[in-house]
Amino acid sequence: MIFKKLLSDPDEVTKKVLDSIELKEALLLTYFNQHCFNVYYEDKAYRNLIEQKFNAYQADLGIYLALKLLLKNDISKIVGTDLNISILNELIAKKIALVIVGGKFEESFVMKEAKKSGINLLYYKNGFFDESEVESIVTQLNSFNANVIFVGMGVPKQELFAEKLSRALKNKVIICVGMFFEYYFGTTKRAPVFIQKIGLEWMFRLLTEPKRLWRRYLIGIPEFIFRVIKMKLGSKVT
């Protein structure tokens, strides 16, 4: 069961990243939220990656409640964006070199924002590229001596790309972050803090991006609840 392997302590996740950097060990890290579970349920390639290659942490209210229901664990709820900020702050403090792949920013904008934030950014590549470009991008990334690579391209595309990077670039920490840098650089607005605290950030996102997200939430949430109940009653994820 995927829920048994999910990390649920934000300090543990951050420590895993820092330890992997210090020991020069490869690490594939990603988040796992309600939408990820629905993709996991339907996409065998993504499911195999999450089960076999990635360290994944629970990253929204839906997964937190599912863990409480299925495993009755005494856990903390992780907010993916907040955890990524915490990890990035550690990397900034330690001046650790990194690369960002993802989003649809101008390179000059990202380099400028990174400098303002104190990020030791060696290279930026936007996430909208064709499959035919992957090999050349991997070769290009290999020329940079970065300890950490952030990949933000959406699920499951980012995990598939990150796993290819991990095979080609040895001993790198590769962290999948979705839309994190859109929030971090301020090009997409997050929900007000009080909405985040009551677990309704998804509703704010739906109201601000209905065309892109209506299916994920209005259909995806009921699907997620149904599938979790099936698991509770003993049915297997197939």
Overall number of domains in the chain: 1
Q: How far is CA 33 from the centre of its chain?
A: 9
Structural domain of 126: 2-180
What's the CA gap between 200 and 208, in Å, rounded?
13
Does the residue 118 lie in any domain? yes
Does the residue 142 lie in any domain? yes
Strands 148-152 and 55-58: unpaired
Does the residue 39 lie in any domain? yes
DSSP 104: S
What's the CA gap between 37 and 35, in Å, rounded?
5
Among residues 45, 2, 53, the alpha carbon closest in space to that of 29 is found at: 53
Q: pLDDT > 70: what percent of the chain?
A: 98
Rounded to 5°, the CA angle 83-60-26 comes to 45
Rounded to 5°, the CA angle 177-58-26 comes to 55
Check if the beta carbon of residue 20 is closer than 8 Å to that of residue 68: no
Q: Which of 88-102, 142-156, 159-173, 185-199 has the lowest mean pLDDT?
A: 185-199
Does the residue 214 lie in any domain? no
Position 238 scores a pLDDT of 42
Does the residue 193 lie in any domain? no
pLDDT, one tens digit per residue, over 24-75 is 999 999 999 999 999 999 999 999 999 999 999 999 999 999 999 998 778 8
The predicted model scores a pTM of: 0.94
Does the residue 202 lie in any domain? no
DSSP 216: I
Helix and strand numbers (H, E) in the chain are 13, 6
Does the residue 222 lie in any domain? no
Mean pLDDT, rounded, of the chain: 92
CATH number for the domain that contains residue 150? 3.40.50
Does the residue 228 lie in any domain? no
Check if the beta carbon of residue 7 is closer than 8 Å to that of residue 13: yes
Q: For the chain, state the CA radius of gyration.
A: 18
What's the CA gap between 114 and 118, in Å, rounded?
6
